[in-house]
Amino acid sequence: MKSIARIRSWGAAVLQTGTLHRPLYRVVPTALAIVPVSALFGALAARADWSWLEILAVGVLGFSGSGQFALLPLAEADAGFFTMLMVTASINSRYLPIAYASAGRLPTSLIQRAVVAHMLGDEAYATEHDSDSKRAVMLIRGTIFCAWVGAGLLGAVLGQFIPAAWVGEGVNLGFPASVVLMHLSALQLRARLWQVPGSSRTRGLAAAGLCAGVSLLLISLLGPLYFWIPSVLAATVILGRTDI
Amino acid sequence: MNQSVAIAIGALFLTSCLVRILPAFVSLRMAPESRRYVERVLPAAVFINFAVYIAYSELVREPLAAAVSLAVVAAVAFLNALGLISAAALGTALYFLLAS
């Protein structure tokens, strides 16, 4: 009861300022876009005999789109802890630089900082702005987190009534989330490469094109799981030599 | 709770501790140039990789539909022509129209 009251007062503190309607307006479409993806996970997990409690726990404690999907077959095959850890760490290694770069936006209190850091995701990072307050960041991450966890449970319930073909490989339910992430990434790149006062747009775009080429090369060499860290580092070096 | 599911949840949570929570508590003293890298260059590098990764993973499944849809959405965002909801609706509709 005490912890519920604490969460309620935290939520009230987050919403008490009137300046939060802008981040809320920004995050709602993003949160809606990930609902089908998480619902799909919930439906597949329920079909693999995961209980509602397990689906809730993996959403809250795991909170990783691709990581959760990757572990479904591994859990069915009774894979060991270190195998699963290697797979999830490889998939989520991209969060290392993102978490470090966005650490300045987090609350200072130890528990809140750890909780909000845990709720970091691709969509949240792309939705946040450098100018966002700590409360805005908590709102953005909390909204996406709750949407993800809730949609997983919803998918588990709906999965019992939906024909198997609807949640099969044939229907790309994850595409709306990809579209949203592409839109947010393009907006961020526009602000960071195109609208920087005093920097050359041509050089910025050329550098971005080179980074994209290197990234594609690394995906083809290392695969889409292991390219993240070397590719982000390479892009950082290339962009660092331009005037952004 | 099923043991293999509990192990999977434990692996995901430990991963989150390592890649999301731990870096949030690491603070380094940085020179202005290093700060520029962390605050401006690194995020741009991450977003370029997001865009390439999304394009790659979707093009593998449906090359034409994904290429047209994602290109339109990226152009719309870059030109700041539509809001997120309209752009997402347009991109998704284009994809499923071309993929069917």
What DSSP letter does each residue of B45-58 carry, written as one string? HHHHHHHHHHHHHH
Which residue's entry shows tokens 């889409």? Answer: A224
pLDDT score of A117: 97
d(CA A240, CA B33): 9
pLDDT category of residue A165 using cuts at 50, 70 and 90: low
pLDDT category of residue A176 using cuts at 50, 70 and 90: confident
pLDDT score of A6: 65
| Domain boundaries, given as residue ranges, for chain B | 30-99
pLDDT category of residue A2 using cuts at 50, 70 and 90: low
pLDDT score of A212: 96
Q: How many CA atoms lie within 13 A of A166 on its CB side?
A: 12
CA-nearest residue of chain A to B95?
Answer: A175
Q: Inter-chain contact B4–A79, Cβ cutoff 8 Å? A: yes
Q: Please, what is the end-to-end C-alpha distance for chain A in angstroms?
A: 50
Q: Give residue-wise pLDDT tens across range B11-21.
A: 999 999 999 99
**Position A17 pLDDT exceeds 60:** no
Interface confidence (ipTM) of the complex: 0.86
**Distance from chain centroid for Cα A150:** 15
Percent of chain A with pLDDT over 70: 89
Binding-face residues of B in 20-49 toward A, CB within 8 A: 20-27, 36-49
**Position B28 pLDDT exceeds 80:** no
Q: Give residue-wise pLDDT tens across range B48-77.
A: 998 999 899 899 989 999 999 999 999 999
Backbone phi and psi for residue A199, each to the nearest 5 degrees, phi listed first: -110, 155
d(CA A81, CA B98): 42
Higher pLDDT, A74 or A152: A152
Binding-face residues of B in 59-78 toward A, CB within 8 A: 61-62, 66, 69-70, 73-74, 76-78
Percent of chain A with pLDDT over 90: 39
Nearest Cα of chain B lies from the Cα of A119 at a distance, in angstroms, of 8
Which residue's entry shows tokens 């990930």? Answer: A34
CA-nearest residue of chain A to B87?
Answer: A183
Q: Is the pTM of this model over 0.80?
A: no
Beta-carbon count within 10 A of A239 CB: 25
Q: Give residue-wise pLDDT tens across range A18-38.
A: 577 888 888 999 999 899 889
Tally: H helices and E strands in chain A: 12, 0
pLDDT score of B35: 76
Average pLDDT over residues A97-110: 90
Lowest mean pLDDT among A68-82, A212-226, B66-80: A68-82
**Position A240 pLDDT exceeds 80:** yes
